[in-house]
């Protein structure tokens, strides 16, 4: 098993990166964790409650595209593994502004890879891993049946997923060309605490609480496969420690839902908690124009990670979604902070005001 003594986490102030750091540090005392994050709208140090006091933790505000900074950090901190989360992650934003997606997701990954490769090749770094956190969206869309496996050809449809697929292929090339010890994980849709309320689940919770319309794209019959963020974090740790370099591992919860069913479920859970009459919040559901190039269905086969590394999700959706709703209700101050200012401009552009 590969157990690193110092890791560089990129994008560790975002939704999944912060969850990974929190759980990884608790489970691996003594391992140094350096968090490199530029703090875009999606990065928030308040996602890392308690972590900042740990003497093994260091935060560096900086850009993954800055090769000099990456080089310095890798050498100075004697980094043995890079866990790469940093990205532009929202499909709708990639449709209105694709450029930054190519810069961060493609170029940023290439810069990190190149600096990591040089660091790995330099004397004194015998043990090294580069884990690239990718997504099931690189496989494109499914019809009503079937699953994405690691052999499914890449066929991304949005600028976001195309930029992630581009980065996956560069990671692959570094393994094939240089023998650089890289791994890729491709996970399905995550949910849980600290997710930015531009994504389906936190957006709907936020709007239900605020009594605002719930914008469901198209006919609401698109399917996503939902996994609790903590299970994604545990899968990444499992692959980092046990995965063979050069391999790809799909990660998923075997938990497919139509969007409309998720929205209705959230309405019902919140009616109960807010003391509203049963069915009241469903009245907020509003079907809106479909997302451009909207993928119909994602469904992951996570058979390989289970078979080869013994990983399985620990959350049932029933428990995870209830806990998530309760977390958002108990953390109004966090939601208020991230939905003020620039968020309002985004929301207005995306949904035309209300």
Q: Is 164 helix (H, G, I), strand (E, B) or coil?
A: helix
Residues 290-319, interacting with ligand TDX (CB under 6 A): 291
Q: Tokens representing 214?
A: 């719930």
Q: Which of 93, 117, 129, 199 binds ligand TDX (CB under 6 A)?
A: 199
Binding mask 67-106 for ligand NAD (x = CB under 6 A): ------------------xxx-x--------------x--
Q: From the CB of 51, what's the least distance to ligand TDX, in Å? A: 22
Q: Which of 149, 328, 150, 314 is nearest to 232 (CA)?
A: 314
Q: From the CB of 283, what's the least distance to ligand NAD, in Å? A: 28
Taking the C-alpha atoms of residue 112 and residue 36, their distance in angstroms, rounded to an integer, is 11
Which long-range contacts (C-beta less than 8 Å, at least 24 apart) are formed by 334-338?
334/46, 334/194, 335/197, 335/202, 335/206, 337/44, 337/46, 338/44, 338/196, 338/197
The residue behind tokens 């980092």 is: 240
Residue 192 interaction partner, one of ligand TDX, ligand NAD, none, beta carbon < 5-8 Å per kind: none
235 with 249: CB under 8 angstroms? yes
Point out which residues pair with 191 in neighbouring strands. Answer: 228
Q: Is 199 helix (H, G, I), strand (E, B) or coil?
A: coil
Residues 48-87, interacting with ligand TDX (CB under 6 A): none
The answer to whether 115 contacts ligand NAD (rule: CB under 6 A) is no
Q: From the CB of 161, what's the least distance to ligand TDX, in Å? A: 7
Q: Which of 222, 233, 255, 264 binds ligand TDX (CB under 6 A)?
A: 222
Contact partners, residue 59, CB within 8 Å, separation at least 6: 12, 13, 34, 35, 37, 45, 48, 52
- By CB under 6 A, which span of 71-79, 171-179, 217-225, 319-327 interacts with ligand TDX? 217-225
Q: From the CB of 87, what's the least distance to ligand TDX, in Å? A: 8
Comparing CB distances to ligand NAD, the nearer of 100 and 284 is 100
Comparing CB distances to ligand TDX, the nearer of 89 and 152 is 89
Taking the C-alpha atoms of residue 22 and residue 240, their distance in angstroms, rounded to an integer, is 16
Q: From the CB of 338, what's the least distance to ligand NAD, in Å? A: 10
Residue 184 interaction partner, one of ligand TDX, ligand NAD, none, beta carbon < 5-8 Å per kind: none
The answer to whether 343 contacts ligand TDX (rule: CB under 6 A) is no
Residues 159-188, interacting with ligand NAD (CB under 6 A): 164, 187
Residue 196 interaction partner, one of ligand TDX, ligand NAD, none, beta carbon < 5-8 Å per kind: ligand NAD
Which long-range contacts (C-beta less than 8 Å, at least 24 apart) are formed by 152-156?
none
The answer to whether 228 contacts ligand TDX (rule: CB under 6 A) is no
């Amino acid at each position: 098993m590969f157990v690193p003594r110092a890791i560089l986490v990129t994008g560790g102030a975002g939704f999944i990166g912060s969850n990974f750091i929190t759980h990884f540090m608790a489970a691996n005392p003594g391992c140094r964790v350096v968090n490199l994050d530029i703090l875009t709208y999606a990065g928030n140090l308040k996602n890392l409650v308690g972590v900042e006091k740990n003497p093994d933790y260091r935060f560096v505000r900086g850009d993954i595209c800055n090769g000099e900074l990456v080089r310095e950090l890798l050498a100075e901190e004697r980094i043995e593994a890079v866990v790469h989360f940093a990205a532009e992650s929202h499909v709708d934003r990639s449709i209105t502004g694709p450029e930054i997606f190519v810069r961060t997701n493609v170029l940023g990954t290439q810069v990190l890879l190149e600096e990591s490769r040089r660091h790995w090749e330099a004397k004194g770094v015998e043990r090294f891993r580069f884990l690239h956190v990718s997504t099931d969206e690189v496989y494109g869309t499914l019809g009503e049946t079937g699953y994405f496996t690691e052999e499914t050809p890449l066929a991304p449809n949005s600028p976001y997923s195309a930029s992630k697929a581009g980065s996956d292929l560069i990671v692959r090339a570094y393994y094939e060309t240089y023998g650089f010890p890289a791994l890729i994980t491709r996970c399905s849709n995550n949910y849980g605490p600290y997710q930015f309320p531009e994504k389906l689940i936190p957006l709907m919770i936020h709007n239900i609480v605020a009594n605002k319309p719930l914008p469901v794209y198209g006919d609401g019959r698109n399917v996503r496969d939902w996994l609790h963020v903590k299970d994604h974090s545990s899968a990444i740790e499992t692959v980092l420690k046990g995965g063979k370099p050069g391999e790809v591992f799909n990660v998923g919860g075997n938990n497919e839902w139509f969007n409309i069913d998720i929205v209705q479920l959230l309405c019902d859970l919140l009616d109960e908690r807010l003391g509203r009459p049963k069915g009241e919040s469903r009245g907020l559901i509003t079907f809106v124009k479909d997302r451009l190039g909207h993928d119909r269905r994602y469904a992951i086969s996570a058979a390989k990670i289970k078979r080869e590394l013994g990983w399985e999700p620990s959350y049932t959706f029933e428990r995870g979604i209830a806990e998530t709703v309760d977390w958002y209700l108990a953390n109004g101050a966090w939601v208020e902070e991230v939905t003020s200012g620039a968020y309002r401009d985004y929301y207005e552009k995306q949904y035309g005001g209300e």
